[in-house]
Each structure stands twice: as structure tokens, then as C-alpha cells.
Structure 1
């Protein structure tokens, strides 16, 4: 937004219409203020206290103070987003990063192909992606989701860069080297690059879906009346961070946590709500044991004897521990209700982790993907009860 606003200010200043741009800025500010007031009102209705959530996010992440702030949740090197975006967007991320250099080259060597106004407009459009990437790259704590808002800008930058490259390649000027290349050869090269990029993206998408969709599928049997009873609990130990949401559980079942090797804060529970008053009572109440220092809360754990169901994973290349045993192998206590394949990243080659590789005999063993199991387990009934 900032680059676009600056562009409008500069253009208005040059055109001598500052009064109009000031009016537009005030109009936009009033609209933003109206949205903020509505947001605060909705938050107050559920939190039962005044809160400006956007400011709370900024205050904690920037002015959190000692033992607070995003760094306590882990840090990554400055190359994290570059590697992540290159992995997920392949050549399009390279195009996105190349937008400004290509604009500079076009301004120097092909100024006749574009106007100064177009260059200024293009520079304004490509700047937001660089700003977002730079701001979050310098932050020690990094997560893939922090880049989600920048994806449209990444696509825009890539499109602008690709357009400039195509404009240059499509030149038929005999004075330029590219102008003497046969058109069919140009088309072949461009289409080859496009097909490789598209297929790489598709292989990546299929790889992610087939490798890691197990946590979204194993809960389906709980919807069957013969499998689960009202009031029973589904417990999570080392798999707590793969639990997608309570929406995957029947309304009368609850997720519980077992103690594992993890020593940070775990999610809390909202109160059950039968109506609006109960709903507000739940959303306005801070669950017990919560803190903003990522400190472990022993009150979040339950004893395994309280678990009717348990979610666990097993990978042949891993070794269990006292707090994280392989419950899947304990068939005397647990039976498998639903199991799905889950990629064993530690035993799979780099290529197998990057893209989808078909399970075909012709694929060399070292390139095949290795699988573990992600299962929903049910506690076995005592022998006398089964009889």
C-alpha cells in the first residue's frame, strides 16, 4: 500500500493536484477507521473487553520485552524464505525477484520500448513484494504462513518480469541478437521452460498432498456411531502439532494432550456453548495455564488412562522414547481404527521429498519414497469385557 500511496502523492504533486490527493487520503483513512471500529466492536462483543487486536500483534512481536516475542517460538536463518519460496514457486520466484533488475535493464537498454510513466508505475507495483520479503527476512522467527499475504505480489512480480522477458525475446529487430533467432526456436525454448515450471509445480502439489494428508483423513471413522461414544476423548502425544482442528472431531468428543518431549505451551480449551451467553462466556475467558512466554503448563496434560482414542505415528527409521513410545506397536493395549501412509522424511531422498515420485518398479530404490504410518488408535477393552 505504501508504494502505491507514494506514487499517487508524487503524481499529484507534479500535476499540481495535491488538494485532491489529500482528500483521497482522508477518505481512505476514514474508511480504514470505520473498519477498525467495527472490528473492535465485534471483538468487544466476544472478548468482553476493549482490544485493538492489530496493535496487540505488533506490540507483542516488536515490543514484547524480555522472554517474550516471536523468537521464543524458534528462529530460522535469513535464507529460510528464499529456500521456501524457491521450493514452492520454482522459476516464478526467480522471476519475481528479477522484476527490479529487469526494469533497470529495460530502462538502460530499451528505453524506447517503454515510457518513464510506465517504468514508474511498474516500479510501484513490484516494490510491495520486496518490502514484505525484506521485512520478514530480517525477523529471526520465520514461518511459511507469514508469506501468504505476499503471494499475490509474488505472482504480480513474476508476471511483470515474464512479460518483459517475452517482449525482449519476441523482438524482430535485426540489429539485436535476439531478433535474428528463428521464431520457432524462441517458441520452443519458451514453451519448454513453461512446461518444466508447470510440471514442477504440479509434482510439488501432488507430493505434498500424498505425503502429508494423513492427519486430515484418519478421523473419519469417528463419525460412525458404532466406533465412538459421546464424551470420549482423543489424545495426542508427540503428534499434537499435527492435529488439524477440533472440527474434525464429532461435537461430543474432545481432544486431550499427553506429555511428550515438547516443553512449550499447548492449546487451551473453550467452554462448551449451548447458546450466545455460553459462547460469550467461553470466548471471553482465558483458558487456565495460558501464558505469553511459551512456558509448559502441566495442567494441559491428562493421564493416558483417560484416553479412549489416541493418535500416533510410527516410522521404521525412528526410535521411541519413554515419553514418546510407539503406541502403534503396542497391540495389546491399542487397536488400529484408521491408518494412512505418512512420508518418512528421514528415510526418503531429497528428490522424493521435493516432488511426487510414482510407486513404480522401474524407479530406483534410492529415489523411492519411504513411508510410515499415521494412525487413529482405540484402546482395547479388557478381556473380561470382551467376553
Structure 2
């Protein structure tokens, strides 16, 4: 509910198609053009079921949006509970409790768990898969891996590595046939559903996961058109979202192995328990090794890609917490062996200190994200309230008008639009005239390809239409823009930098008046530490904020004619 939308891809590629299915309007990206068809409508339909029920409950579209985000978070909670139970049964309560504390407080999970993104769905689905793998529930493990890889994100198949290694390498005689059988059943069912649904909506035979792999791996341009970053981008994001957890992950495997050997033999441990150091005993801990390898492989793949996005790391977030939990659980035993039995209290204190530091940093990070960047959603929420008052100004409309389109415009702030769920629709004024809000783009310094509204009509006809002005080269289409003189409202961030295409509209007081404004952090003018973490009574001194405005056009009325 309080998590910001950090990626415009979430809005335009997922919330907008869902809005189309629910309310008949929404923005279309080039990925949903039948020419390219690299996004699956089946993923949207998975969310359409609960969303249509919420539509019947709530009259306000924004309430549907917020409740859907809560349901996405609830899906992740169910996956976390399943993982917790699996860890308790196989590795003990200590690791399980540590894991659940880390994932509950992590600012990374705060961002990822309620995002309407394939990478977030893959994160939760992979949790179900790994939990089933730990419990040796092979059908569920393969099913959820298939759902993660085929319906949401093909590259998430990499995280099925532990299941493949266990069934085909460790226990081939016992499980190889089972693996092939379940993989064939689950894969066939999911692929059939994908082809049926997407072919219906695109109007031709389509397998979207194949198209996205072909585009990302084999096309001459691929995702690099949307920006490239160096390795520091991911390192910074991991440190911000997981802070000191990252330091412990490399020690998970050596600490786990050494801890259990030393627990068996160390004379310093009061509660030492003898264990059979047999092959069967070590197989019990193989999942930790395989999970560790899958995380390393994931990092190797995505760290080497020029195009980097924070969301690409979402699927491994819970696995990072698991590996850190293993290290924390083993730390007192390893430390006690190295420094002697009397140091046990010291190491237990270190663990408590670790939890305190992690908790403070994580909560501080999450609070900073909300405090610094939540204002766009607040402004769009207040747009609904303001439109009710706006609709009752009788001087704005002639009596013969029945339906009036209100043009809400964005320029440089197009990528912070929280979705059409925040655009008012069907508001009636005192003259029983209907207002319909419509988002439009005005020219800014951005020179890439913007989305465009779906054609009006019924499903599936409108999703089968090949839209004009679409391309996979991120090439700007001038047809997306309207003249700013057509705008009734303008949503804009007041910054210290202005250009001819991005002036300070709030200062144009003869044209615009600010009816809503909220503080928004100007990152480039703020201290890196202060903008990343919220520290009460301290943070504000080195941060610079701009005003996020809802601007209303000032209209002049002469002889009952609105100008």
C-alpha cells in the first residue's frame, strides 16, 4: 500500500492492460502489438479474476488498484509461509525464523512483493517451487517453476537449477523419469494455455515466451536501446535494498559445512550433538549448495548484461535472505570453535546486533522511499477529489454538452503516471453532464517511444488491431503529443533545471494555478546517504525537494463563453 511504483514498465505493460480488461480503456505499448507480441495476456488474465470481483465491490478505481496491490503482497506472504514451513522441517527453526525476519523487514521485499511485474510473480512462484523442492514435493516444484518461467518470465527457468540437479544428477535412477513425466505434463498444459489465450487476443498463433527470448537474446538491438549500466548499478541496489545481508551471503556455504562438522566434534560446545557424517547426512544440506549455485548463476547472467534494471534481481531476493539466514545460524558455532566456548555469548550478541542494524537500516530505507517518492500517487489520488468540485463549476460547460473530455497532461513526468486506475471516469456535475478524464502527453526532452491508447471497441477486436506508430527501436513518434493549449490539467514536478521543452509551468501563474502540491525529492541535488535513508531530525538538512503539482488551467469567462 505504501510502496512506490519504481518502474514505468509495471504501469504501462501490466496495470494498463488490466485496466483495459476491466474498464475498456488503457495504454498500449509496442510489446502488445500483434506484430511483436512479446507480452502474454495470460499473465494479465491471472489477475483479472480477483480484479473483476473487486470492481463489483468498489466504485472507486483507485480502491481496486490498492486492494490488488495488497492481494499481490498476500500471494507473496503465502509463498513465504510455505517456505518457512519447509525450512523448519528440513533445516530447523533457527534458519527458518531468521529467514522470515529478514524477508519481513527487507526494503527489497517491500518493493518487490506487491509489484505487478513478471519478475515479482517469478519471485513468489519460485519460492513455492523451492519450498516444494525442499519438501521433496516434485510435482509442485516443477509446476511452479513452469508457471514462473513460461507465464511470467522465461529467464526465471534458471532458478529451477536446484530441482534439475537433484532429480537428474543426485537421484537420476529414482527421479529422472519422474522429472521428465512431470515436466512434460506441466509444460504441455502451460504452453497450451499460453497459445490458446494469446492467439485469441492477438488474432494469430503466438507463443509469447518464445518471442521475448528471441527479442532479448537474438535480435540485433534488444533491450540495450533502453539504457545500459555498469556493474555498480546492481551492487548499489543490493546494498540499498539488503544492506548488511549482502556481506553474509558468500559465507553461507563454508559456514554451514564447517558449523555442522564442528558441532559434531567441538569440545567447547555444551549442547554438542553427535551426528553421522555419512553421505545421507550431507545430502540433507545439498539444497543450500544448489540454491547458492543458482544465485551465483543468476548474478553471472544479469551482471554481464549491459541493460540492467532493479526488477531483474527480484526473483533471487528471498534466496539472498535464505543464504544470509544460514550464515547467521552457523555464526555462533563457527565463532565459538575459533575463539573457544567462552566466546559463545559474544557471538550471540553479534547476531542480535546484526538484527538490530539490519532492521534499522531496512526500515529507514523503506521510510525514505515512501517519504521521498510517494507524492505522485498522492497527487493522482487527489485528482479524483478535485474533479468532483471541478465538475460542478457551471461556467465551464455549455448546457448542450452531455459528455466532456478533460485533458490531463504530462510531459517529463510521463513515467511516474501510476496508471489509469487513478483517472476519474463518469463523474457527473450538477447539470448531469458526464466528465471523462483522459491522459495526454506533451512534448518534453524525452525522445523515446511513448505508449498510445488502445483503440476503442470490444475485446478481443481491439487487441488484434495492429496499432500505427509502433516500433521496437524506441524511436520517437510525434503523433503521441498534443498541443499544451488543449490541456485542462497538467501534472508536473517543479525542479531547479528548466529548458524550452521543460519550463517551470508552476511559475506561469497567468496560465496555471496549483490546486495540489506535494514534496518530491530531487535526487541529483540531495546527499546520497540522506536521500537513501530516512533519519528523523537529520535527513532533511542535506536533501532538496521540489513540488509535485497538479496544475489547473486558468480559464477566463466573457459573456458566458469559456476561453
Q: How high is the TM-score relative to the length of structure 2?
A: 0.61
Which of the residues 429, 432, 440 maps onto 1:256? 440
Partners of 2:491 and 2:254 in 1: CA distance = 50
Partners of 2:327 and 2:480 in 1: CA distance = 51
Q: Deviations over 1:310-336 (max 9, x none)?
A: 111112xx2211001110111110111
Change (3 A) 1:187 1:12: closer
Give the corresponding residue for 1:198. 359
Q: Unpaired runs of 5+ in structure 1? A: none
Partners of 1:301 and 1:70 in 2: CA distance = 24
The Cα shift of 1:11 comes to: 2.5
Change (3 A) 1:166 1:269: farther
Are 1:177 and 2:339 counterparts?
A: yes
Check the 8 A contact 1:219/1:338 in 2, yes or no: no
Give the corresponding residue for 2:491. 311
Partners of 2:242 and 2:340 in 1: CA distance = 27
Give the corresponding residue for 2:471. 291
The Cα shift of 1:49 comes to: 1.6
Partners of 2:179 and 2:207 in 1: CA distance = 25
3-state SS in 1 of match to 2:390: coil
Give the corresponding residue for 1:349. 527
Are 1:377 and 2:559 counterparts?
A: no
Give the corresponding residue for 2:213. 58
Equivalent runs, 1:1-387 vs 2, <5 Å: 1-13=160-172, 17-18=173-174, 20-65=175-220, 68-103=221-256, 115-169=281-335, 171=336, 176-181=338-343, 183=345, 185-224=346-385, 225-227=388-390, 230-251=404-425, 252-273=436-457, 278-315=458-495, 318-358=496-536, 360=537, 363=538, 367-382=541-556, 384=558
Q: Unpaired runs of 5+ in structure 2? A: 1-159, 266-274, 392-402, 426-435
The Cα shift of 1:294 comes to: 0.5
Q: Deviations over 1:120-143 (max 9, x none)?
A: 332012222222121111100000
Q: Deviations over 1:170-228 (max 9, x none)?
A: x4x6xx41423152x33322211210111100000000001000111112233232225
The Cα shift of 1:168 comes to: 2.4
Give the corresponding residue for 2:8. none
The Cα shift of 1:101 comes to: 4.7
Say which is worse superposed, 123-132 or 105-114, in terms of deviation: 105-114
Check the 8 A contact 1:348/1:369 in 2, yes or no: yes
Partners of 1:51 and 1:221 in 2: CA distance = 41
The Cα shift of 1:303 comes to: 0.6
The Cα shift of 1:2 comes to: 1.9
Check the 8 A contact 1:4/1:125 in 2, yes or no: no
Partners of 1:253 and 1:76 in 2: CA distance = 37
Partners of 2:262 and 2:245 in 1: CA distance = 24
Aligned residues: 366
Check the 8 A contact 1:129/1:157 in 2, yes or no: no
The Cα shift of 1:103 comes to: 4.8
Partners of 2:553 and 2:505 in 1: CA distance = 10
Q: Deviations over 1:356-380 (max 9, x none)?
A: 132x3xx487x44321111111111
Partners of 2:462 and 2:264 in 1: CA distance = 62
The Cα shift of 1:71 comes to: 0.7
3-state SS in 1 of match to 2:405: coil
Change (3 A) 1:205 1:230: farther
Partners of 1:221 and 1:348 in 2: CA distance = 27
3-state SS in 2 of match to 1:279: coil
The Cα shift of 1:263 comes to: 0.8
Higher helix share: 2
Change (3 A) 1:182 1:379: same
Check the 8 A contact 2:519/2:548 in 1, yes or no: yes
Change (3 A) 1:178 1:314: farther
Which protein has greater RCO, CA pairs closer than 8 Å, 6+ apart? 2
Say which is worse superposed, 100-109 or 325-334, in terms of deviation: 100-109
Partners of 1:85 and 1:134 in 2: CA distance = 15
Partners of 1:202 and 1:21 in 2: CA distance = 45
Q: Deviations over 1:52-107 (max 9, x none)?
A: 11111111011112xx2011110000222122111111011222343245456658
Q: How high is the TM-score relative to the length of structure 1?
A: 0.87
3-state SS in 2 of match to 1:197: helix
Check the 8 A contact 2:406/2:438 in 1, yes or no: yes
Give the corresponding residue for 2:54. none
Partners of 2:235 and 2:264 in 1: CA distance = 31
The Cα shift of 1:246 comes to: 1.4
The Cα shift of 1:28 comes to: 2.2
Say which is worse superposed, 99-108 or 283-292, in terms of deviation: 99-108
Alpha-carbon RMSD across the aligned residues, in angstroms, is 2.4
Partners of 2:517 and 2:405 in 1: CA distance = 23
Check the 8 A contact 1:328/1:334 in 2, yes or no: yes
